Structure formats: structure tokens, C-alpha cells
């Protein structure tokens, strides 16, 4: 077969090969020293954030396979299926990185479940698996749109992006944990391909069926309400003064900005404009 190398998923497939990284190769020696120098509240904020990341990566790694299957079942492009194999592998690398960081830097068992608030549990443990598992019995445009809106736009595009921002700000403001920052840089670059693919797939669906837009906006509004709830749930235990100068308003604004950027791209596709 002749592959269309000009298609965005095929370009991202090539980028995934070029930027392949090894979580086992990141030096965590400085992180071990830095970790011991953080106070209990600082450690708790990072454990909170990283517990959500670790479980989030485990959830997306487990939940993605039905999408790859559904795209093939619909007779979609081979290029998209090939791209999705890279995303599946990326998510496993992310699981490996956070698992290694906990094991080698924190070096003690952490009750990670204590950090999953009600909104987080709803998004990651209910909405995400439900939307993706649904594809096993229904490969309609609506079912696919709901999966992309949940996985690529809300979980990756809003929540993960906001989490990186919080973690980057925390590490940068204190000049600590270079191994974590290096891992986050790789994860963030991978995630930008994932979000770009989700937007591409949704744009394709919307250009073919603009009447899907009303369903998409209803779904996005429902998902956004839950996603924005994750931030105050996570930061509530720290009261007014959150370690590392993190602020609830700053994080909520950042999450909303991410949401609006993606919403605007999709809205332009419905209007028939180039992204």
C-alpha cells in the first residue's frame, strides 16, 4: 500500500520515532538529593500532583486500545492506526517514568488514592473508560467524537496540560528536581502530538458532519465542569498559601485557556475554515 506521508497523523508518527526517549535513561540522582531538602508541605503538593499524573497515565494507557480498534473497524485510514500505535507506546513510557520516579526518588510507599478527589475520580475512573469502552459496540461518529473529546481534549488537552504547568512552575521557582523536569519535557512533547491528533480527528469528523457540533458542545460543557472541579479538589488541603506559589486562580485560568484554544480550533472546522 502507498502511505500518505502528508497526512498529519503520519507526520506525527514520524515525529514519534524521531523523539523516542527512554524513561530508564533519565538521571534522578539530583532529584533524590532535592527531594530530601523539601519540607513536608512541598513534598505533599508534589506527591498529590504526581499521584494524579501516575494514575492518569495508567488510565490513558489502559483505555486507548478500543479507539485504535474502532478507527480500523470504521475503515479509517491506515495512517491513523499507525499513529495510534505510537500513542499507545508513548503512554506506556509515561507510566514507566512516573513509576520509576516514585520508586527511586520518593523511595517509600505512598497511598496515592488519598489524592484522588471526587472530580478526578469521575473523569478518570468513570467518564474516560466509559467513553472509550463504548467504542467496542458503537463506532458511530458521535461515539468517536465523545471518545476524542474526553480523552484528547479534556484529559490530555486541559487536565494534563494544566498539571504540567503546575509542576513546571513548582520546580522552576525552586530550581529543583531536574530529572522530573526532563521527564516532563519528554512527556509534554509526546502529549502535544496526542492533542494534535485528537484535534485532527475531530476536525475531520466535524467537516464531514457539521451537525455533530451541537453534540460536541454539549459534551464539552459537561466534561469541562468536571475537569475544572479537579483543581480546587486538589488544592483545597493547602488553604490560602499553597507551596511553590501555586494559585487556584492561576491554574483555573490556565485550564480555561487550554480549553478555549481547542474549542476555537474545532469551531473553525465547523465553519469550514482552515485550522
Give the binding site for Fe ion (CB under 5 A): 57, 91, 94, 156, 191, 194
Q: Which is nearer to Fe ion, 80 or 91 (CB)?
A: 91
Q: Which is nearer to Fe ion, 34 or 115 (CB)?
A: 115
CB of 190 to Fe ion, least distance (A): 6
CB of 156 to Fe ion, least distance (A): 5
Q: Which is nearer to Fe ion, 38 or 149 (CB)?
A: 149
CB of 153 to Fe ion, least distance (A): 12
CB of 193 to Fe ion, least distance (A): 8
Q: Which is nearer to Fe ion, 134 or 194 (CB)?
A: 194
Q: Which is nearer to Fe ion, 192 or 217 (CB)?
A: 192
Q: Which is nearer to Fe ion, 21 or 215 (CB)?
A: 21
CB of 146 to Fe ion, least distance (A): 17
CB of 105 to Fe ion, least distance (A): 19
Burial of 138 (0-12, 13-18, 19+ CB in 10 A): exposed
Three-state helix/strand/coil letters over the chain: CCCCCCCHHHHHHHHHHHCCCCHHHCCCHHHHHHHHHCCHHHHHHHHHHHHHHHHHHHHHHHHCHHHHHHHHHCCCCHHHHHHHHHHHHHHHHHHHHHHHHHHHHHCCCCCHHHHCCHHHHHHHHHHHHHHHHHHHCCCCHHHHHHHHHHHHHHHHHHHHHHHHHHHHHHHHHHCCCHHHHHHHHHHHHHHHHHHHHHHHHHHHHHHHCHHHHHHHHHHHHHHHHHHHHHHHHHHHHHCCCCHHHCCHHHHHHHHHHHHHHHHHHHHHHHCCCCC
Q: Which is nearer to Fe ion, 129 or 237 (CB)?
A: 129
CB of 60 to Fe ion, least distance (A): 5
**8 A C-beta contact, residue 131 and residue 147:** yes
Amino acid at each position: 500500500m502507498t502511505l500518505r506521508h502528508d497526512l498529519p497523523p503520519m507526520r506525527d508518527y514520524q515525529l514519534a520515532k524521531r523523539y523516542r526517549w527512554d524513561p530508564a535513561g533519565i538521571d534522578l540522582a539530583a532529584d533524590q538529593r532535592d527531594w530530601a531538602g523539601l519540607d513536608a508541605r512541598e513534598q505533599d503538593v508534589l506527591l498529590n500532583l504526581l499521584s494524579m499524573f501516575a494514575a492518569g497515565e495508567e488510565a490513558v494507557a489502559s483505555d486507548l486500545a478500543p479507539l485504535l480498534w474502532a478507527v480500523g473497524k470504521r475503515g479509517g485510514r491506515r495512517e491513523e492506526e499507525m499513529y495510534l500505535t505510537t500513542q499507545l507506546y508513548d503512554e506506556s513510557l509515561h507510566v514507566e517514568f512516573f513509576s520509576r520516579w516514585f520508586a527511586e526518588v520518593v523511595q517509600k510507599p505512598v497511598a496515592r488514592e488519598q489524592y484522588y478527589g471526587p472530580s478526578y475520580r469521575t473523569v478518570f475512573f468513570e467518564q474516560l473508560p466509559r467513553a472509550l469502552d463504548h467504542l467496542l459496540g458503537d463506532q458511530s461518529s458521535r461515539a468517536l467524537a465523545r471518545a476524542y473529546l474526553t480523552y484528547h481534549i479534556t484529559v490530555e488537552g486541559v487536565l494534563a496540560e494544566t498539571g504540567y504547568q503546575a509542576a513546571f512552575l513548582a520546580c522552576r521557582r525552586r530550581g529543583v528536581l531536574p530529572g522530573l523536569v526532563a521527564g516532563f519535557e519528554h512527556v509534554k512533547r509526546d502529549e502535544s502530538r496526542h492533542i494534535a491528533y485528537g484535534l485532527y480527528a475531530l476536525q475531520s469528523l466535524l467537516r464531514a458532519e457539521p451537525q455533530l457540533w451541537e453534540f460536541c458542545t454539549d459534551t464539552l460543557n459537561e466534561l469541562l465542569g468536571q475537569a475544572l472541579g479537579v483543581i480546587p479538589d486538589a488544592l483545597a488541603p493547602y488553604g490560602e498559601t499553597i507551596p511553590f506559589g501555586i494559585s487556584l486562580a492561576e491554574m483555573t485560568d490556565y485550564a480555561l485557556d487550554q480549553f478555549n484554544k481547542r474549542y476555537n480550533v474545532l469551531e473553525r472546522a465547523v465553519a469550514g475554515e482552515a485550522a
